[in-house]
Structure 1
Amino acid sequence: MRRILEFAARKISDFRFVQGRNNILDCTSVVGLGSIVTGSHFGYLSGCNRNCEIDLAWIGNYTEIASNVRIGPRNHSFSNFTITDFVYMNREHVYGKKGEYVNRIGHDVWIGANAIILTGVEIGNGAVVAAGSIVPKSVPPYAIVGGNPARFIKWRFPKEVQAKLEETQWFLLKKEDVLLRREELERIVGFDRGGFMTHYMD
């Protein structure tokens, strides 16, 4: 029992709320140690791991962001006469339109470690961004993308399955209600729980 408590204490110490300001965080949101989150919204059971920098992003429910991810919005303009930013007296190079979210990350999204999501990019529900990707363009729902620049790899589910999942709106439910519908939702996507467990235990 003591070893379990020590392990739990170590895991809890990995997380802190929150360097940054003007955030809206659900009480279930977790932000990893060393992460800086500014002007952003985290939905239900969403979070990021260590050393992320997230600015002016709206993040939906059940979304997981791995370590060292960067999400907008600051950028340098190379179309102006200078790259340096002292000429932007209103900090428009940093924040765009005041009070708006610059990046939107949907529900049930996975963003792998060391990914960079550039300014203005939207990532649809259920999408997956591979580790190390640089994402300059918006990602459609349920797409898996990767690379530099990130390119479409495949759909996470066929289009008809995507439609059925969206119809359920399961990602707007609390986890207790999701668990009550787990078997129904797993049938929709054809998930083989037994096969999954066997794969990871072999």
Structure 2
Amino acid sequence: METVTNPSIEVGDYTYYDDFEDVANFERNVMYHYDFLGDKLIIGKFCMIASGVKFIMNGANHKMDGITAYPFNIFGKDWKRVEPRLSDLPFKGDTIIGNDVWIGNNATIMPGVKVGDGAIIATNATVVKDVAPYTVVGGNSATEIRKRFSPENIAELLTMKWWDWNIEKITENLEFLTGKNPGV
């Protein structure tokens, strides 16, 4: 995606974001992504990201071990004295989307989630935990609906890594890659 300028967002080749208004909105949908936290959003190759998909990053996390999770310190003055150290805040790590992942309209991906290669995230899903490769998930919070292929075929596809082929090989094998039965 050529519209991404934030160095903490990495997007693989041929990945696209389809927005009903403007594809330049993509970074606006990567929320609470503050440089000082150091977390990254890493998206693989050949991913399909629908309009309204939101990536919630670690900056959205509040300290939760007190009576209240309210961030008094953001209002400054006398309340600044309870400002938490970065090490006091929950940090879930980088958010990583594998290759060949389809994320449906208005889905939300929470901080630190890892979505495996070939996974499908249903429309309006809220993904709060990792998604295994070639798994379809949906709901709030997202749960497994089904596997796309047998465990043996998934293992073969993960070994094949078609997204790492050169573009000529991909082009030569389009019928295989898009066929109803991958025959792996």
**What band does the TM-score fall into relative to the shorter chain?**
0.7 to 0.9
Which of these residues, 67, 75, 84, is aligned with residue 60 of structure 2? Answer: 75
Q: Indicate if the aligned counterparts of 2:176 and 2:182 stay in contact, CA closer than 8 A.
A: no
Task: Give the Cα separation in 2 of the matches to 1:21 and 1:119.
Answer: 17
Q: Indicate if the aligned counterparts of 2:18 and 2:50 stay in contact, CA closer than 8 A.
A: yes
Which of these residues, 119, 122, 140, is aligned with residue 114 of structure 2? Answer: 122
Q: 1:168-192, CA deviations, whole angstroms, 9 ceiling, x for partnerless residues?
A: 22111233321212344456x6159
SS at match of 1:131: coil
Task: Give the Cα separation in 1 of the matches to 2:157 and 2:110.
Answer: 28
Q: Deviation at 1:120?
A: 0.8
Residues 90-169 of structure 1: pairs in structure 2 closer than 5 A: 96=91, 102-169=94-161
CA pair 49-185 structure 1, distance change in 2 beyond 3 A = closer
Structure-1-length-normalised TM-score: 0.66
Letter in 2 for 1:190: N
Task: Give the Cα separation in 2 of the matches to 1:115 and 1:137.
Answer: 13
**For structure 1, which runs of at least 5 residues remain unmatched after alignment?**
1-14, 23-38, 193-202
Q: Identify the structure with bigger relative contact order (alpha carbons < 8 Å, sequence gap 6+).
A: 2
CA pair 171-16 structure 1, distance change in 2 beyond 3 A = closer
Q: Indicate if the aligned counterparts of 1:121 and 1:137 stay in contact, CA closer than 8 A.
A: yes
CA pair 79-89 structure 1, distance change in 2 beyond 3 A = closer
Deviates most, 139-148 or 173-182: 173-182
Task: Give the Cα separation in 2 of the matches to 1:155 and 1:83.
Answer: 40
Q: C-alpha root-mean-square deviation of aligned residues, in Å?
A: 2.8
1:58 is matched with 42
Counting matched residue pairs gives: 156
Q: Deviation at 1:166?
A: 1.7
**For structure 2, which runs of at least 5 residues remain unmatched after alignment?**
20-24, 34-39, 75-82
